[in-house]
C-alpha cells in the first residue's frame, strides 16, 4: 500500500463486544476440546468405561467453568478497552462542538497515544478559539476617532497577545517592500499578514513565534482575518481624520463669515441712520416724494441689518430679551404704518380680552415687521388679517394671515431654516419680484426671537380661502382682574 492509498476501514458488521467474547471463549474451550479429542483417539474409554464417564463429566464441567471464566475475562477486558475509548469519543464529540476538553493521560499504550492526539487537537482548537475571540474584540474596539497612530500601537499589542508572539510590529508600508524572512529550524518562526481594506493593501503585520509552537493554515487564516480588521479600522481612521479636518475648515469659514456679518452690520448701522434722518428731513422741508422713498428704503435696509445682527447673537448664544408687559394691538398698527403699504388692506381683530404679552418690545416689533412684510410680499396684494386672542392658559396668540396662494408643501419643512425662502407659491404660482429680494432670514430670526422670549412661531395648517398664516405664541398675563 502506497502513502497515497487511503487507510483500511475500522470495524465491521460484528461489534467489538461480540468479537472479543468469541475470541476468549475459543481460547478457553480449545484446550478442553483438544483433550477430549485426544481421549477419543487413544481409546482409553473402552478399557475403563466408568473412568471414561468420569473423565467426560470432568471435561464437561471444566468446559462450563471455562465458559464462565472466559465470559468474565471478556467483560473485564472489554470494559478496560471500551471505557477509555468512550471517554475519548465523548471528548472528541465535545471538541467538535466547540467545547474542547482534555483527557488525563497515563501509560504508554495505543489508547494513551490516541488520548494524547485528542488532547493536542483540543488544545489547538481552544487556542484558535482564544485567537478568534481576540479578533472579534479587536473589531469591536477599533475606534476611528482615536487616530491612526494609537490604532497601530493598540493593534501591535493585541496581535502579540492574541497569537502568543515573541514580538510583533504593525507597519504602515507597502507589503511588497518588506521581504519575507526565511524560516530556520530551531529558530523563532516568522509570521506575517497584510493589512487589507477590500482590494487595498494598507500595511503589514510581522512577528515571531516560539520555535516550539506550531503554525498551521488555520492559524494563518486567523492572522489574515485580524489583518483585515485592522486594515478596515485604518481606512476608517483615515476617512474620519479627513472628515474631521474638513469640518474644522468649515467651522473656521463659518466663524469668519459670522465675524464678517457682525462687522458689516455694525458698520452699516450708523450711515443708514444718517441717510434715513436726512431723507426724512428733506421730505419734510421740500415735500419731495423721492426723499420719502429714500427714507423708507433706508429703514427697510436698517431692519435687514438688524436681522443680521440678531443672527450673530443667536449663533453666539448672547440673545437676551428684556421682558416687559405690553399690548400687542398697538404694536401691530405701528409696524404696519412703518411698512407704508397703502395698496394693501389690513384687518386687525383684537380678542385679547385684557391679556397682555410678556415680551421684549423691540424684539416683538422686529417679529411683527417681518411677518407683515412677508404677508405683503407673498400675498400678491390681497388683504392681510391679524388676529390676537388668548390661547392656552398663560399664553397669547397673534396670527398674521394673507389671502395669497399660500406655502408650497415642499417648503413647509424648511421654511424656518437659515437663509431659506419659499421656492414657489402653493399651486405652482411664481413668486413676485419683490419676494426674491428677501434675505431668507426673516422667519429664522423671528422664531429665534420668539423662542428666546419663552414662546414660539409656527406655520398654521392650510385652510381653504386662506393663504399663509403664521402664529406668534407668547407668555401672557391678565392686565387686571375682572
**Lowest mean pLDDT, pick from 171-175, 257-261, 276-280, 464-468:** 257-261
pLDDT digit string, tens, across residues 339-364: 877 788 999 999 988 899 999 998 89
Judge whether 371 and 438 are in contact, CB under 8 Å: no
Phi, psi for residue 3 in degrees, rounded to 5? -70, -20
Residue 437, pLDDT score: 52
- Given a cut of 80, whether residue 336 has pLDDT beyond it is yes
Is residue 156 predicted with pLDDT exceeding 80? yes
What is residue 436's predicted lDDT score, i.e. its pLDDT? Answer: 47
Q: Taking the CA atoms of the chain, what radius of gyration do you get in angstroms?
A: 49
- State residue 29's pLDDT score: 63
The pLDDT of 157-161, averaged and rounded, is 82
Residue 434, pLDDT score: 44
Sheet strand arrangement including 167-171: 167-171, 200-209, 189-197
Whether 365 contacts 402, CB under 8 Å: no
Q: What is the pLDDT of residues 374-420, one digit of tens each?
A: 898 888 888 999 999 998 888 999 999 998 888 888 787 778 877 66
pLDDT value of residue 401: 94
The pLDDT assigned to 181 comes to 83
Question: What would the CATH number be for the domain defined by 319-478?
Answer: 3.30.565.10
Higher pLDDT, 55 or 216: 216
Average pLDDT over residues 128-137: 67
Q: Which of 129-143, 161-175, 309-323 has the highest mean pLDDT?
A: 161-175
pLDDT for 347 equals: 92
User: Is residue 143 scored above 80 in pLDDT?
Assistant: no
We find that the CATH architecture of domain 143-243 is 2-Layer Sandwich (3.30)
pLDDT tens, 439-468? Answer: 567 888 889 899 999 999 999 988 887 889
Amino acid at each position: 500500500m502506497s502513502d497515497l492509498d487511503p487507510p483500511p476501514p475500522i470495524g465491521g458488521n460484528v461489534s467489538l463486544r461480540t468479537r472479543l467474547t468469541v475470541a476468549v471463549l475459543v481460547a478457553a474451550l480449545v484446550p478442553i476440546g483438544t483433550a477430549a479429542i485426544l481421549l477419543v483417539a487413544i481409546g482409553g474409554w473402552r478399557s475403563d468405561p466408568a473412568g471414561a464417564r468420569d473423565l467426560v463429566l470432568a471435561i464437561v464441567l471444566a468446559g462450563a467453568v471455562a465458559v464462565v471464566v472466559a465470559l468474565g475475562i471478556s467483560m473485564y477486558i472489554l470494559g478496560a478497552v471500551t471505557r477509555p475509548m468512550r471517554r475519548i469519543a465523548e471528548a472528541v464529540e465535545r471538541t467538535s462542538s466547540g467545547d474542547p476538553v482534555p483527557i488525563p493521560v497515563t501509560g504508554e499504550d495505543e489508547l494513551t497515544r490516541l488520548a494524547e492526539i485528542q488532547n493536542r487537537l483540543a488544545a489547538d482548537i481552544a487556542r484558535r478559539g482564544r485567537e478568534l475571540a481576540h479578533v472579534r474584540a479587536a473589531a469591536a474596539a477599533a475606534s476611528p476617532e482615536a487616530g491612526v497612530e494609537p490604532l497601530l500601537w493598540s493593534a501591535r499589542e493585541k496581535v502579540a497577545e492574541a497569537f502568543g508572539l515573541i514580538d510583533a510590529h504593525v507597519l504602515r508600508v507597502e507589503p511588497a517592500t518588506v521581504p519575507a524572512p526565511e524560516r530556520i529550524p530551531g529558530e523563532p518562526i516568522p509570521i506575517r499578514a497584510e493589512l487589507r481594506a477590500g482590494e487595498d493593501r494598507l500595511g503589514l503585520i510581522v512577528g515571531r513565534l516560539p520555535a516550539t509552537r506550531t503554525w498551521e493554515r488555520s492559524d494563518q487564516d486567523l492572522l489574515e482575518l485580524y489583518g483585515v480588521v485592522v486594515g478596515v479600522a485604518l481606512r476608517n481612521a483615515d476617512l474620519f481624520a479627513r472628515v474631521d479636518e474638513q469640518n474644522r475648515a468649515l467651522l473656521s469659514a463659518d466663524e469668519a463669515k459670522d465675524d464678517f456679518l457682525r462687522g458689516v452690520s455694525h458698520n452699516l448701522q450708523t450711515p443708514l441712520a444718517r441717510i434715513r434722518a436726512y431723507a426724512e428731513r428733506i421730505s419734510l422741508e421740500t415735500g419731495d416724494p423721492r426723499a420719502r422713498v429714500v427714507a423708507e428704503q433706508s429703514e427697510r435696509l436698517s431692519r435687514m441689518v438688524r436681522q443680521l445682527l440678531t443672527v450673530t447673537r443667536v449663533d453666539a448664544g448672547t440673545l437676551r430679551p428684556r421682558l416687559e408687559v405690553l399690548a400687542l394691538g398697538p404694536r401691530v398698527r405701528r409696524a404696519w404704518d412703518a411698512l407704508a403699504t397703502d395698496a394693501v388692506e389690513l384687518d386687525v381683530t383684537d380678542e385679547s380680552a385684557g391679556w397682555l404679552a410678556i415680551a421684549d418690545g423691540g424684539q416683538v416689533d422686529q417679529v411683527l415687521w417681518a411677518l407683515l412684510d412677508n404677508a405683503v410680499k407673498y400675498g400678491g396684494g390681497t388683504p392681510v388679517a391679524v388676529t390676537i386672542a388668548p390661547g392656552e392658559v398663560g399664553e397669547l396668540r397673534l396670527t398674521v394671515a394673507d389671502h395669497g396662494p399660500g406655502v408650497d408643501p415642499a417648503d413647509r419643512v424648511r421654511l424656518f431654516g437659515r437663509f431659506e425662502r419659499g421656492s414657489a407659491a402653493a399651486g405652482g404660482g411664481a413668486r413676485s419680484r419683490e419676494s426674491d429680494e428677501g434675505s431668507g432670514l426673516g422667519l429664522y430670526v423671528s422664531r429665534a426671537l420668539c423662542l428666546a422670549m419663552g414662546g414660539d412661531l409656527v406655520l398654521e395648517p392650510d385652510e381653504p380661502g386662506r393663504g399663509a398664516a403664521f402664529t406668534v405664541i407668547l407668555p401672557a398675563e391678565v392686565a387686571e382682574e375682572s
